[in-house]
Amino acid sequence: MNPLVHQIENKVKNDFTMKRTKKLDGDIETMISTGSTLLDLAITGGRIRGGGIPSGILVEIFGPAGSGKTVLLCEIAGGIKRQGGQVMFNDPEARLNKKFAKLFDLDVDKIEYEVPQTVPEVFKPIRKWEPETPKKINGIFADSLAALSTDMEMDDKDQYGMRRAKEFSEELRKTCRIITKKNFLMVASNQIRENIDAGQYGQKWVSPGGQAIGFYSSLRLRLTNGVKIKKKISFSGKEVTRVVGITTQVEIFKSSVWEPYRTAPLTIFFDYGIDDVRQNLQFIKNYTKNTVYALDEMKLDKSIEASIQIIEDANLEGKLRNEVIDLWSDIEKKFRIKRKVKNR
């Protein structure tokens, strides 16, 4: 073990799943982590220490292909499963790989896994669902909504798919109150399409399925195009390059749970998931006077790879996360409006 590890005290075990933490006003509230500290903070960091996603809402994750939507969705689903809740996973695209899912502690053979074809096939079961763990946060996931059809379309009676938007609207109207009443967390991924009315509405891209999905979503996360991460190795005297992951940005496109339009970076490796340690180390270096990667004023290394190794060898992920939360909170204070409470 690196000798620097012995100089860092108060090791905290890493925990990215369920958090019961204090609100800023002292009450207790439950949040679900996305697997990314910076994204958790961007979602509700000013509402509760550490942030995260509150239950009882619908979340839409949308963006271009290859931007990390499925990984983010699976990180959240795995978190719910680890803390004892049940997961209902809808896979309209029929492409969730069992081995890939197990990276996130999702065993497809042990969860309620379905391959629905139509919009009602996703929403009707939600209204009837009675999980065995009602006191836990139970999650419904759909990857993705864009792949859903309608009975009319399946019977070749709706050539242009006009019925689909109406069915989303109908099903969401009947389901939204159930999600809140039973404290479910529903997370759905969606694709994007070029907006032919961009000149009128100002949005170049929209997510398919009509206006209802965006309307009923309390939280909408928009991912940008992923930038490839390439790794070079030397093998038998030859240089070999592979794409091993991506970096992307997540924008809080809409939020009814805290402030919108904040952003957070994500680094995703294909055989690992979201690399929270990497982004946390980079955040501390970016927003402190440190010229090397550091933790609790202790210099680690100039190399981020070596610094990650130190953190993981000593199980200091939790301590690193707490330092990022404290630093983020200090920065956030600078943006607060210093005025008396408004007379209402």
In a domain, 304, yes or no: no
In the chain, the number of structural domains is: 1
Question: pLDDT of 229-245, one tens digit each?
Answer: 999 999 999 999 999 99
What average pLDDT does the segment 153-160 reach? 71
Question: pLDDT of 179-221, one tens digit each?
Answer: 999 999 999 999 987 775 655 556 677 787 889 999 999 999 9
In a domain, 290, yes or no: no
Write out the two tokens for 315.
Answer: 């199980």
pLDDT of residue 10: 45
In a domain, 316, yes or no: no
For residue 121, what pLDDT band results from cuts at 50, 70 and 90? Answer: very high
Write out the two tokens for 85.
Answer: 């809740």
Q: Distance between CA atoms of 291 and 262, rounded to whole angstroms?
A: 26
Q: Transcribe 42-70 into DSSP letters.
A: HHHTTTBTT--B-SSSEEEEE-STTSSHH
Which residues form the domain of 165?
Answer: 16-269
For residue 249, what pLDDT band results from cuts at 50, 70 and 90? Answer: very high
pLDDT of residue 6: 58
pLDDT of residue 198: 55
Length of the chain equals 344
In a domain, 245, yes or no: yes
For residue 14, what pLDDT band results from cuts at 50, 70 and 90? Answer: very low
pLDDT of residue 221: 98
Q: CA-CA-CA-CA torsion for 12, 16, 20, 21, nearest 10 degrees?
A: 60
Cα 23 from chain centre: 21
Cα 16 from chain centre: 12
Instruction: Give strand pairing partners of 267.
Output: 247
pLDDT greater than 50 at residue 69: yes
Q: In this structure, are residues 148 and 117 in contact, taking their beta carbons and an 8 Å threshold?
A: yes
Q: Distance between CA atoms of 158 and 270, rounded to whole angstroms?
A: 38
In a domain, 6, yes or no: no
CATH number of the domain to which 136 belongs: 3.40.50.300
In a domain, 310, yes or no: no
